[in-house]
Structures are given as structure tokens and as C-alpha cells.
Amino acid sequence: MFHRPAVPPLHRGRLAAAAIALGLLGTLTTSAWAGAREPSPQQRAQAPVTAVRPTAGAATPLSGYAIQSSAKVTDSPAAVSSPGYRATGWYPAGARSTVLAALIADGVYPDPFYSTNQRKIPKADFQVPWWYRSDFTVTDRTRRTYLDFSGVISAADVYVNGKRIAEAADVNGAYTQHELDVTSLVRSGTNTVAFRIRPNDPNKNLTMGWIDWLQPPPDQNMGIVRDVLVRRGGPVALRDAHVVTSLAVPSLATADLTVKAQARNDSNTPVTARVSGSIGTKTFATSVALAAHRTKTVTFAVHLDSPKVWWPAGMGGQPLYGLDLTASVNGTPSDTAHQTFGIRDVQAPLNSAGDRQYRINGRKLLIKGGGWSPDEFLRWDRTYVEDRLKYALDLGLNTIRLEGHIEPDEFFDLADRYGILTLPGWECCDKWEGQVNGDETGDKWTAADYPVAKASMAAEAARLRDHPSVISFLIGSDFAPDARIEKTYVDALKASDWKTPVVAAASDNSSPITGSSGMKMTGPYDWIPPNYWYAKREGGATGFNSETSAGPDIPTLDTLRRMMTPAELATLWKDPTAKQYHRSPSPVFNTLKLYDNALTGRYGPPTSLTDYVRKAQLAQYENVRAQFEAYERNATDASKPSTGVVYWMFNSGWTSLHWQLMDRYLDQGGAYFGAKKANEPLHIQYSYDDRSVVVLNNRNTSADQLTVRATLFNTDGTQRYDRKVTGVKVSGGGAHSTALTLPASVSGLSTTYLVRLTLTDASGKEVSRNVYWLSAKPDTLDWAHTDWYYTPTTSYADLKGLDSMARVPVSATASTSTGADGTSTTTVTVRNSGKGKTPSLLTDVHLVDSAGKPVLPVQWSDNEVSLWPGESKTLTVTYRTADLRGSAPRVRVSGWNTPERTVPAA
């Protein structure tokens, strides 16, 4: 049970991590607040016009809207929603846009991610409804027409051609799906749809909130954040097409598929429809008689021999199948449906310790994930999302957890394609858990909320069930639902043919139907030392930890200078007690006191902003590495094994100082490369608890004839211990083998010392290198005073000796090749060219343009490497050529004790 602080936080302790693409806001500005700017009537007079495709089964998304505050619209709803209405002075908005996202894109406000600009946006402007209107054209009135949508935040009255067709009481909740038959209202030519969007309050509405992840947007994300589709069809509509898969496990030799769809007669007369379909080379068909306005379920059974099985990345391929269905009446196509799906089996039983253990296609796997955050203003950018998912693969992660903020369909399409598992679920600490969440915020449910919750669950289940990347739904987060709410969810899931595990909560809770969650939410969420992760208690490496990290993740100096003023940067490194706007609105997480105290206590007080960031990257590297290494090492333990860990968070939705493995601009620092190192496919690591040196194998196949070498050095490079072990073997699938144990004491070893571990294969090639900075005086944890968000440290490891390391020159040569696919690869060789014994610790290489600005996103083969005198390392970095923006590439080399230098890389 959590030990709550006297002042309850906005959330019990969590999250961060998203970042948003460079192009998402357009050019960043660091100008002072300029005030809201009115739109130009000449530029913004009319809503965009969408040409609706006439073919049967066509689903055309509206291309965008004109929006305006209802406080500034005096015309009647009938007038606003009629074709020809002059939306003079209205703002343009994209097809998926919150109110504030549209205003930011239109330049009404300066960059809200810089400094405290967002705090200056008046909240009162968003406490009244806003109008969204859009025009669409129809050329063929013989077909039926429907509006199909979800993603309205928080509720809306809906109008078509001057008539109200739905009330806000019915169009309510961000996740509810709505299909409105507007056939009788649609005319040839131009038609108008208008939404009168109600203000959002996550504590009162079943929508989306931000808890303590970031400073919440002033409009609370009110708007329309998913596509509004105009569907066309004949008398019979096909809906709810999906495939229920049953894979033979463990043989994987056969699969039985059940194809289901709803055939609905929307006409006033009986019809007989011919429903035909195909999956690959398999075809099937049937006839179905439908009375007027009646619906029947159409079912087909399909058997596959030698099915193409979908696997998570690293465990196999990601083949996908396509289902195509057509409903015809009198030989004329009336409607079509297409669904992509994958064949795989997911099980997640509780192990003997009561922890949830996932199995994919019969094989156990350790869930290694990160908590996902969308952009703060819910702006969808496919390229930016894809870049982040590629980063997840680069980091060796296999899972993304989405607590609320369940992304659009394209997100899960990408996850399917890349083999990234997903754990979607409802969020904590607001209306979603208002009935059961103790002292957290969020109104209790009323009778009107239960149908909204059920409709939300049904809509998301129908949307997600065929995605092989989706392996569970978490119906609770910090708290499990009570019996009535759980039944509401479970009934909706069963009706939707949901087959993957349903989890009661992300915390150690249970509910009457689904039972124990098998997960824990014990933190930490703020700074703890690396040795914390090895204890099999609290947030340590045992069981399934659904969200946890050491809290702050200070971004690179490049990013800090893009997100904060010089005065704010000075406060950042000088005053640990200062409230940091870019950390969290939570009173628990709004300073960096715990983190800064540890940084000073372990590494010495920072002497400048550059020194502060330098120490932060070192600290984040060692801590993130330890978190993943501990969970990986303990995954195959006979007693209380680790079964899952979700780094809180993978990314942040804005420019943040905590909970992120990469920053908003996708720059990479110590946290990123610490995770990348820990999750290497074949990896050597040190154990903080028992000093063992372990070889861990994440590959499918075993490895043998390996050589392990462990060498201990003083910080001046003097060698004090060296041991080599040959003939090391390790099985695949996450197994580990202990090669040796370092001695408890070594003669002549300094208080602060370095450990270099190398792993070489039978040919003598180095396949893994790992360098640690340790202390003869370890960090001491005060377990007895553990709080819900951290465990106090009573004494710090003495790593101050690192500051005495001699400065070591590192030379670099680089060249670049450009591929035909629009990407370039720069190859960099770095060499420790020092004359003494001192290594270059955590040498970082950044790809920059001619102005010295980072080129992002990038994927490095390796980075933040440590080199002893005479040693060299060749690294490669791949990126989009266009991201150079016409500049010649350069590489900037720096490090803990390496003078910064930049060399050409053309």
C-alpha cells in the first residue's frame, strides 16, 4: 500500500517521456509573450471542403474544420451548420485537432513548449463551447450516407445541414464510437456538418487527462482528435468485421480463424444480401436474408495449415493477413470491409509468486517497455510516431504501455509492422477511477457514466482486437474497478470477442471477475541509486513493475537551450529547491531536490550549467542501465523472478525534465544510451548486489565459446585487477550465465574506480563492452522509510574521484554515404589518442549540421563509449538526408573527460 504524502500529488508518481517532432510546431520561437492574435477574415472565411468518394464502402475523412468560440458566434446553430455560411474570422483546424492545437498552428500563441509561455494562455477562453464546422460534397444521392466518428473531447451537439442530429448527452466521451445515418439530410453538392464541442474536464468526463506528466494544456484538449468519416453504401451495410484466431500451441502448425461481421439492412424493405470474402487464397461466401432495418451476424470458419505466425521483434517475423468482405444486393456491391490481422497466441498466467508472466506463441518473454505519451496537444504526426517506435526497437524494448491517451489506428498499425507489443488501458487519477481511487481527484460516477464507459470499452475493443501487437487491456491503473464497473467493461469485451488477457489494474490489486492483476506499482518515481534495482522488494527486479524509474531525466544541453531561458537555466543548476515548470505540476515532483542532492552527493557540486548536464548524463546512464540489467538478470530466477518492467516513461509529451528516455526533439543522452547498452542482444553486465559478472543472451539461439574479461582500474588508468574466463556458454531467450565474481576488495584500488567488462566470441571479436564507475563506499538505502515514490538514501557512493580524471584527447574521422532510399549513413572512428593511461569515459558523438545543431532523429550503432589509450571504436549513424536541410554533416565529439571538438563528415 502506498504511503501518501500530506499533500496528495496529481498522480501518485509517474510518467514522462514523449517529445514531439521537429516539424510539428513549425519554427520554434523564443520571443516573449505577444498575446492572442485575431485571424484575418480574408484568409479564413470558409471551412475546407471534402469531396466524398461515391463508391460502395468508401469512408472519406473530413479534411479539416473552421473553428470559433461560441462566445464569439451569435448566429443560430441552424445557420452555422448550413451550407454557404460565412465563417468570417474563424480559425482553420486540421482533421484531427484540439482547439489549442489549431490556435498554436495558426500563430495565435508563441511556442507553448518554451519557457513558461503556456502558463500565459488564458484558460477562460476554453471554458465555453467551441464550434467546429466542415463542408463536404456528394455527387450521388442514391447511396446511403453516414457520419462515423470517435475522439470527441469531451462531448458535442452534432448538426448536418441546419438540423441537430445528436445531442451532447449522447455524443459523450473521448472513446465512444458514433455512427449517424444522415441519408435523408444529404443533398447533391455541398453539405455541412458542425460540432458544438463542450469544454473538457478530466475529473468530470470520461476523456483524457495529464495527471502529473506535464503542465496540462489550458484547453484540456477539447476538440476532435480522430477522423470524422463520411461513409457511403447501399441498402446493406457491413459493420464490425473481425477475425478471431486460434493458433495451435506449441506446434504452431495450424490456425483456425472465425470471421465475423454484422450485415445490416438499412432500407425499408426486405433484402437478401450475398456476403463474400477472402483471406489470402481462401475464399468464402453466403447469402443472408434481412428484414427491413434488421441486423444479422455473418460467420465463416477458415482453417490454415502452416500459418504465418506473428512474433514480437527479435523473436521472429511480423507477417500480417488481410480480410476482405463484400456485401452485394442483386449483384451490385452495397458495402465492403477490410481488416488487417495477425495470427499469434497470447497468454499471461500468474506464476508461483503471483506475478503476471506473458507468453507469446508458447514462449515466455520478459516485458521490457516504456510508458507512452502523445503530444501534449494530441497532434498526430505519423512520421514522428514512427521515429519514436524505431527508437524503442533501437533501445531493445519490446513493449509500449499506453495509460489512457490510446492512440489512433495508425499507431497500432505501426506497432504491428515493427513487432512492438502494446499494453493499452484506462488512466488513473481522474474520472476513470473516480469511483475507487481513494484520495485522488476525479468525480464519482453517476448512472449516466456507466453506458459511456461501456460504449468506450466496446469501441476500443473493436478497434484493437485484431492488432497482434495488442496483448492485454488494463481496465484499471492505480486502482482496480469495483464489481459493477468491472462487469460493465468485461461484458463489453466479451461481446467484442476480445481474446487477449484482461488485467484488473497496473497496480497490485484485484477485482471480482478478472482476479489479481499480477502487477505492481511500487515506484520509484524519483531518484534512487543504481543498487536499488537489485533488491527483490519495492520497485526492485522482481515481478511485473508496470511503471518505474529514478525520476528526472535531464535532456542534453542542446535541448535545454531550446526549451528554457538563460535565467531559467541558471536556476536549473544553482537551486535544487526551485520549482521547475518543465518538470511537473505535482507538488511532489515540481523540484529537482532529490535528484540534485544525489548528483552533488555522489559526483560533487556542479560548477556550471555544462558541468551539471555532464554529471546528469553520467548519472542517468548508470541508473537506467542498472534498472534494465537487474530486471533482465532476474528474469530466469527460480524464486520471485522478474517478469516485466515498464520504464516511466518512454517519452514526454512536451519539453520535459523528467520521465523520458529521449527528449521532445528525439535527442539522445545518458538515459537513452544506458537503456540501449543494457538491452544489447548479447550482453555482459555487472551486478550491484553480489558483484557477479553475468553474460545475458536475448537472442533466440544459444552462444558458446565466449570469453569474459573483467579489469579494474583506478581513475588515473592504473590497472589493479584483471581476470579472464574462457569457454563461457549461455542459452538463448533471455538466459544468463555467471562468468565470475569480482573480489570484495582489491589492493591499491582507489575509492572511486572503473570496471571494464568485455565479451568476445570464438574468433576473438568483441561483441559486448560495458564500463562501470563504482565506489568502495556504496550508496546506502533507508528501506524503513520508503515512500510511495522513492526510498531515501542515507549516504551516497563516493564517485567524486571521477572529477580528478585527466583530460584525454579523442580524435575522430568521419565520412558519409547517401542511399537511394533518402537516408544517409555517417561512419565515425573515434580514438583515444592520449599518451598516458587514462581512459576517455563516456565519449559521446553527436551528428550536427554546419551551424552545430543536432541532426535528429538518428540511430547510432553504439555511442557514449569508453576508450583506453590507443583504443578506437567505429560507430555508424543513420538518418534522413533531408534532415540535414542542405547542410554538410559534421560530428561533435565530447565526453566526461574529453575536450569537445567538431570534425567534418561529408
For residue 223, pLDDT over 90 is answered with yes
Going 388 to 389 to 392 to 394, the CA torsion angle's sign is negative
Amino acid of residue 490 = V
Categorize the per-residue pLDDT at 5 as very low, low, confident or very high, splitting at 50, 70 and 90.
Answer: very low
Q: Is the pLDDT of residue 865 over 50?
A: yes
Q: What is the pLDDT of residues 587-632, one digit of tens each?
A: 999 999 999 999 999 999 999 999 999 999 999 999 999 999 999 9
Q: Residue 164: how many CB atoms within 10 A of its CB? A: 14
pLDDT tens digits for 643-656? 999 999 999 999 99
Look at the block and give the residue holding cell 507489443.
421
Give the confidence band of 554 by pLDDT, cuts at 50, 70, 90.
very high
d(C-alpha 333, C-alpha 237), whole Å: 10
pLDDT tens for each residue of 561-595: 999 999 999 999 999 999 999 999 999 999 999 99
- 4: confidence class by pLDDT, cuts 50, 70, 90: very low
- Give me the pLDDT at residue 47, please: 64
Q: Which percentage of the chain shows pLDDT scores above 90?
A: 93
Widest pairwise Cα distance in the chain? 94
Closest CA to 57 of 316, 287, 249, 327: 327
pLDDT at 61: 97
pLDDT higher than threshold 80 for residue 7: no
What pLDDT is attached to residue 1?
35
**Residue recorded with cell 548479447:** 682
Cβ proximity of 529 and 538 under 8 Å: no
Among 897, 892, 894, 885, residue whose Cα is nearest residue 826: 892
| DSSP letter, residue 618 | H
The pLDDT, as a whole number, for residue 11 is 37
Computed from CA positions of residues 617, 904, 393, 868, in that sequence, does the dihedral angle turn out positive or negative?
negative
Q: In one letter, which amino acid is 242?
A: H
Q: In sequence order, what DSSP letters do the residues of 532-549 get, joined into one string?
A: GGGSSSTTSSSEEEEEE-
Specify the pLDDT at position 140: 87
State yes or no: pLDDT of 13 exceeds 90: no
The pLDDT confidence band at residue 663, using thresholds 50, 70 and 90, is very high
How far apart CA 66 and CA 193 sit, in angstroms, is 11
Query: What's the pLDDT band for 76 if we cut at 50, 70, 90?
Result: very high
Give kind and range of the element (H or E) at residue 594: helix 593-603
* Order of strands across the sheet that contains 254-265: 236-247, 254-265, 295-305
**Residues pairing with 628 in the sheet:** none
Q: Is the pLDDT of residue 429 over 70?
A: yes
Q: Is the pLDDT of residue 30 over 70?
A: no
94 and 228 Cβ atoms separated by less than 8 Å: no
Q: Say if residue 704's pLDDT is above 80.
A: yes
Q: What band does 28 get if pLDDT is binned at 50, 70 and 90? A: very low
Predicted confidence (pLDDT) per residue in 253-262, tens digit = 999 999 999 9
Work out the angle at residue 372's Cα, subtended by the Cα atoms of residues 369 and 376, and round it to the nearest 5 degrees: 165
268 conformational bin, left if phi > 0, alpha if psi -120 to 50, beta if neither? alpha
Mean pLDDT rounded to a whole number for the chain: 93
Kindly tell me if the per-residue pLDDT of 6 is higher than 60. no
For residue 10, pLDDT over 80 is answered with no
**653 in helix, strand or coil?**
coil
d(CA 816, CA 172): 53
Annotated active-site residue 547? The verdict is yes
Within a 10 A sphere around the Cβ of 689, how many other Cβ atoms?
15
330 burial class (0-12, 13-18, 19+ CB within 10 angstroms)?
Answer: exposed
pLDDT of 288: 97
Report whether 736 contacts 632 (CB < 8 A): yes
Indicate which residue of 125, 212, 345, 547 is catalytic: 547
Confidence of residue 855 (pLDDT cuts 50, 70, 90): very high
Catalytic one of 478, 558, 844, 864: 478
Q: Do the bridges between strand 144-149 and strand 152-153 make them parallel or antiparallel, or are there none, so unpaired?
A: unpaired
Cα Rg, the chain, nearest whole Å: 29
By the 8 A CB rule, do 793 and 884 touch? Answer: no
Asked if 478 is an active-site residue, the reply is yes
* Range 428-454 average pLDDT: 93
Span 469-490, pLDDT tens digits: 999 999 999 999 999 999 999 9
Grade residue 114 by pLDDT with cuts at 50, 70 and 90: very high
pLDDT for res 46: 61
| Intra-chain end-to-end CA distance of the chain, in Å | 57
Which residue in the block uniquely carries the three cell numbers 445557420?
A: 79
Instruction: Report in angstroms the alpha-carbon separations of 433 from 453, 478, 479, 611.
Output: 11, 8, 7, 43
What tens digit of pLDDT does each residue of 82-94 get?
999 999 999 999 9
**339 beta partners:** 323
Q: Over the stretch 170-210, which tens digit does the pLDDT of each residue have? A: 999 999 999 999 999 999 999 999 999 999 999 999 999 99
Length of the chain: 906
Reply yes or no on whether the pLDDT at 511 is more than 70. yes
Alpha carbons 766 and 708: distance in angstroms, whole number:
10
pLDDT recorded at residue 440:
85
User: Kind of pairing, strands 178-181 and 163-166?
Assistant: unpaired
**Band of the pLDDT at 108, cuts 50, 70, 90?**
very high
477/470 Cα distance (integer angstroms)? 17
Cell for 783?
528501506
Kindly tell me if the per-residue pLDDT of 36 is higher than 80.
Answer: no
Could you list the beta-strand ranges (E) of 491-586.
Answer: 502-503, 510-511, 515-516, 543-548
State phi, psi for 827 to the nearest 5 degrees: -105, 125
Strand, coil or helix: 456: helix
- Please report the pLDDT score of residue 560 as a whole number: 98
Give the pLDDT confidence of 754-783 residue by residue, as tens digits.
Answer: 999 999 999 999 999 999 999 999 999 999
- pLDDT > 90? residue 22: no
Query: Is residue 323 predicted with pLDDT exceeding 90?
Result: yes
C-alpha cell, 386: 514512427
pLDDT of residue 292: 97
CA-based nearest residue to 100, from 8, 223, 277 = 223
Bridge partners, 744 (sequence order): none
Q: Comparing C-alpha atoms, which of 302, 345, 309 is closest to residue 500?
A: 345
Q: pLDDT digit string (tens) for 779-788?
A: 999 999 999 9
* 672: its cell numbers: 537513452
